[in-house]
Amino acid sequence: MIVRIFFIISISIGYSSAQYKVSIPGGVQIKRSHFNRSQIENDLQSKYSNLLTATRNAASSFTSLYVSTQSLTAYGLGSYYAGYITIGTPPQQFLIVFDTGSSNLWVPYQKGAEKKHKKYNTFNCNISTTCKSTKRRISIKYGKGMAKGPIMKDIVCLDGLGVDACTNKNQRFACVTKKTVKGAFDGILGMAWNSMSVGKIKQPIDQIFRNKSNCPEEVFAFWLNPNTEKTTGGGEMSICGIDSTKYTGEITWIPLAKTDYWRIKINSVYFGTQLIGNQTFGIVDTGTSLIAGPPSTIDVILTLVQAKAKKDGTYKVNCTQKSTFPTLTFYINNNTFDLTPENYIQQFNKKEKQVCLLGIMSSGPLNMWILGDVFIRPYYTVFDKANKRVGFAQSVTIT
């Protein structure tokens, strides 16, 4: 059985398979604030800070307190794709960011008879007949803050209805205090590898993959509509199979360099005919809105497109010159992946004037490429856990 989840940029999602379909109306277009590279760069450093040091802050074994460096603020300021999951019996529904750049599931927590938050859905263990406390707590660093809360066990379903694509009642997840949650979503479902999970808590997708009768393939895939002007049908995530209607041509498979994040080797990068980088790593990250690269490489791009840094953290370029900008090409495993100016520049209407913002930024001291939504939109992206690889194919555009 293939589970398909449809979602809208930062607002809505649905679920569909041969038997089920849920449609949530509404949605918003990508906004200027989604290109705030200053905020996103800070959050990337927090999210991937374990790559900057020789040792991780996360506990290597199951202890009473876990610590990680996952960002909880990048999503509110970047464009993100979210969908509904449910937890508990009866099901409690949450709008979740599907993030291949982190590895933990967390939702806001409601203690006992505490009043529900006005903006977010909160999980209440007391009203779930299958919920059980582990009597353990979790601590997640984000930026300058800290999210803390208990670790619970309950049924998690990825169909948004509590009917299908479900774990058993022993799935562990983090409950964080509502004060730490920012953005229009409720929580985050990390979909990187368990090796990066705080406290080595295994992900819900692992249990779903183990059910071979319902899930014959250990894969999930993202289609993000390249048409960012459309406010409905923003994208789709499929689980246990690939949706062949969302791409054209063949899927190009790239082996993973390491099973921590979805990390691949990038042989070289060209901007037009100019070589601007080679022999580095890239992380395919659905939870980051832009493309981020090594500072020296990005400096070359900024100079060539004459980008101007604005006070709101964005890079502005001249819209009239957009069509003359070079193609950004990634050479990966002897394959080329091109991004045209239409892909890496977002054009907005502002008071009857056209404003063009660059969807490329520095990854700071990470000194590697983060292939976020700007890269994923033109390429249907498949995450193959069984074969430890990612696949890319040309995305279908819905107008």
Active site residues: 99, 285
Within the chain, residue ranges assigned H as helices are 37-47, 74-77, 204-210, 295-304, 341-344, 373-376
Q: What 8-state DSSP symbol labels residue 116?
A: P
Question: What residue type is assigned to position 267 of the chain?
Answer: N
- Name the DSSP letter for residue 312: T
Burial class (CB in 10 A: 0-12, 13-18, 19+), 25: exposed
Burial call 210-240: b when 16+ CB within 10 Å, e when fewer: eeeeebebbbbbbbbbbebebbebbbbbbbb
- State the first-to-last Cα distance of the chain, in angstroms, to the nearest integer: 28
Q: CB within 8 A of 265, min separation 6: which ones?
A: 257, 279, 280, 281, 282, 332, 333
**Pairing mode of beta strands 219-224, 82-87:** unpaired
Q: Which long-range contacts (CB under 8 A, 24 or more apart) does 135-139 make?
A: 136/62, 136/64, 136/65, 136/199, 137/64, 137/65, 137/66, 138/65, 138/66, 138/104, 138/106, 138/174, 138/176, 138/198, 138/199, 139/65, 139/66, 139/67, 139/68
Angstrom distance (rounded) from CA 259 to CA 387: 11
CB 33 within 8 A of CB 27: no
